Amino acid sequence: MDHSASLAPPGVEHLNDRDEETSVSASRHQRAGELFLSALEQPPAERLRFLSDACADDAAMLEEVKSLLNAHGTADHFLTTPIVNAAPAPLDEETRVLERTAPLVPCVTIDQKYRIDRLLGKGGMGAVYLATHVGTTRTVAVKVINPEYAVIEEFIARFRREAAAAGRLRHPNIVNVTDFGVADVAGTQLPYLVMEYLDGHTLGDYLKQHGRMPLDRVLDVVDQVALALDAAHAAGIVHRDLKPDNIWMESNRRGGYNVKVLDFGIAKSVAREEEADQGNVTSTPASDSAAELPSGETITICRVPNQPGETGDLNTRLGTIVGTPAYMSPEQCRGTPVDYRADIYSLAVITYELVAGHPPFQGATVAELLSQQIEAPVPSPRKFDAEISKPIAAAIMRGLEKSPADRPVSAGALAALLRAVVEGEFSVLRKGKDTFQSYPSVFAPLWIAAFAPIFLLGVAAVPVLFQVSKLNIVPHRWLVIGFYVVAIGA
């Protein structure tokens, strides 16, 4: 072994040889690395400000992290492709996939039961995959929570508990949860949820495409969502994150939609039930796109750590995931405990948006939106569209009462109220139409056109008739009288 001395492996035992100076620079290196990663999570425009704040008293650290950020930006394939590897740049792609926090890749079989086919979608909290149940070859949807959330045991426990609750719900308007488990993926425990695979699209997609929905269809959708909510509420489960993106629409063969509510209980599992500290509340988007207002995204509301400037560890950052600001009830926005009536509020917001084309509040920032939900008077939907009748506007706004006690007593009650006012209007219209139809307007001109000449002829015939009778021309007399009778009959 002539080369063994020169080839001493860099072993873990070298750690002990560190002198004090090395350990100081090692801890600075670690701190720089953490700041670098935190800065990467900021939108590019805000990185410098973020770093200046974080390194206010340490100019050397600021320079170190800035140089790391610069180096990160350089496009260079060196290092990203393993040396002596024929495959072109596989690490880039792989890293990208993991950084997108999509924790699974196609063809992987999790728990020896579900073969992952492809990624269907990804949100701030996790990802949904199209998968095949190996035993039955049935197509299913598998939902996995982001690994960064999945590492917290309390989180897994809640996820499990709520998955059980969702599994207990069997309702035609609630997506069917068939399985739950914790898969070991490359050493990480990943809780997953298996659901029936649905064709179609979300109500959110529909709104993006059409802007708003015809009234009769709104009634149908709201009815079905209300059935789902009432069933869940009866089972003691509150959705807490009801929004158009969580309402699935499968076209049925009758030209309508079968509506299914998604993510039942999952939102609750990530929400903390304790009250948030009064006033001391800030918000961070759970998604990567920190620059955009996440009004459509489920957001994390967390308590600010005691020291200002401290970013807080993962547990604190996880905090309380309350819902989606645009659809959140005032009590949710305040961080106070919520019950089923929060879902009624969210359903009313959705109804509002379907009818008016806009949700009631459209704050520019999350904080503004939250304060609007809490205290701003709800603008009438007629503000967006004066064609919406007053009774319909009033019915929707009943569900948007700030105090839960003032809202309709159940989701079904809200739907029924809405149906009553809408159908009330429809029946008025129908009645008006019915009375008009007894004089068939379309045919009236035809009748007049057909019989007017006969009638006129008959009138003209009267003096002639008298003349004829005087002249005693008998054969024509009965003919003229017949004419007359026909004209009167018409």
Query: Which sequence positions are flagged as catalytic?
Result: 241
- The type of residue at 291 is A
- How far apart are CB 105 and other proteins at their closest, in Å? 9
Half-sphere exposure of 319 (CA within 13 A, CB side): 28
For residues 126 and 149, give the distance between their C-alpha atoms in angstroms, rounded to a whole number. Answer: 9
**Residue 378: strand pairing partners:** none
Options 1-9, 254-262, 330-338, 340-348: segment touching other proteins (CB under 8 A): 1-9
- How far apart are CB 69 and other proteins at their closest, in Å? 7
Among 41, 148, 292, 375, binds other proteins (CB under 8 A): 148
Measure Cα distances from 357 to 193, 218, 395, 429 in Å.
33, 12, 16, 24
Options 13-21, 226-234, 261-269, 363-371: segment touching other proteins (CB under 8 A): 13-21
The token pair at 411 is 């989701």
Rounded to 5°, angle at Cα 286 from 280 and 289: 115
Contact 198, 174 (CB under 8 A): no
Options 65-73, 128-136, 230-238, 474-482: segment touching other proteins (CB under 8 A): 65-73
Q: Is 243 exposed, middle or buried (0-12, 13-18, 19+ CB in 10 A)?
A: buried
Among 45, 57, 59, 84, binds other proteins (CB under 8 A): 84
Q: In the window 40-59, what residues touch other proteins (CB under 8 A)?
A: 40
- How far apart are CB 90 and other proteins at their closest, in Å? 8
- Identify which of residues 147 and 200 has a Cβ nearer to other proteins in the complex: 147
For residues 396 and 463, give the distance between their C-alpha atoms in angstroms, rounded to a whole number. Answer: 70
When asked if residue 74 is in the footprint of other proteins (CB under 8 A), the reply is yes
Among 71, 134, 409, 446, binds other proteins (CB under 8 A): 71
When asked if residue 68 is in the footprint of other proteins (CB under 8 A), the reply is yes
The token pair at 470 is 């005087």
When asked if residue 185 is in the footprint of other proteins (CB under 8 A), the reply is yes
When asked if residue 72 is in the footprint of other proteins (CB under 8 A), the reply is yes
- CA torsion through residues 230, 235, 240, 243, sign: negative
Measure Cα distances from 115 to 112, 123, 167 in Å.
8, 21, 21
For residues 33 and 68, give the distance between their C-alpha atoms in angstroms, rounded to a whole number. Answer: 8
Applying CB under 8 A, the site for other proteins has a residue count of: 52
When asked if residue 99 is in the footprint of other proteins (CB under 8 A), the reply is yes
Strands (E) located in 265-386:
281-285, 299-303, 320-323
Options 41-49, 85-93, 132-140, 462-470: segment touching other proteins (CB under 8 A): 85-93
When asked if residue 86 is in the footprint of other proteins (CB under 8 A), the reply is yes
When asked if residue 147 is in the footprint of other proteins (CB under 8 A), the reply is yes
Options 21-29, 45-53, 290-298, 396-404: segment touching other proteins (CB under 8 A): 21-29
Among 78, 439, 443, 478, binds other proteins (CB under 8 A): 78
When asked if residue 10 is in the footprint of other proteins (CB under 8 A), the reply is yes
- How far apart are CB 89 and other proteins at their closest, in Å? 12
Measure Cα distances from 139 to 119, 190, 392, 455 in Å.
13, 20, 42, 75
Options 124-132, 144-152, 252-260, 439-447: segment touching other proteins (CB under 8 A): 144-152
Contact 116, 129 (CB under 8 A): yes
Among 70, 112, 307, 472, binds other proteins (CB under 8 A): 70
Among 43, 44, 82, 377, binds other proteins (CB under 8 A): 82
- Identify which of residues 187 and 309 has a Cβ nearer to other proteins in the complex: 187
Question: Rg of the Cα trace of the chain?
Answer: 35
- The type of residue at 259 is V
Contact 86, 78 (CB under 8 A): no
- Identify which of residues 108 and 276 has a Cβ nearer to other proteins in the complex: 108
Among 42, 80, 178, 311, binds other proteins (CB under 8 A): 80
Contact 92, 80 (CB under 8 A): yes
Among 135, 187, 255, 463, binds other proteins (CB under 8 A): 187
For residues 439 and 2, give the distance between their C-alpha atoms in angstroms, rounded to a whole number. Answer: 113
When asked if residue 7 is in the footprint of other proteins (CB under 8 A), the reply is yes
For residues 216 and 266, give the distance between their C-alpha atoms in angstroms, rounded to a whole number. Answer: 31
- Identify which of residues 22 and 336 has a Cβ nearer to other proteins in the complex: 22
When asked if residue 107 is in the footprint of other proteins (CB under 8 A), the reply is no
For residues 246 and 204, give the distance between their C-alpha atoms in angstroms, rounded to a whole number. Answer: 8
Q: Percentages helix, strand, coil for the chain, rounded to the nearest 5?
A: 50, 15, 35
When asked if residue 4 is in the footprint of other proteins (CB under 8 A), the reply is yes
Q: Which residues bind other proteins (CB under 8 A)?
A: 1-4, 7-15, 18, 22, 25-26, 29-30, 33, 36-37, 40, 67-72, 74, 76, 78-80, 82-86, 91, 94-95, 98-99, 103, 147-148, 151, 185-188
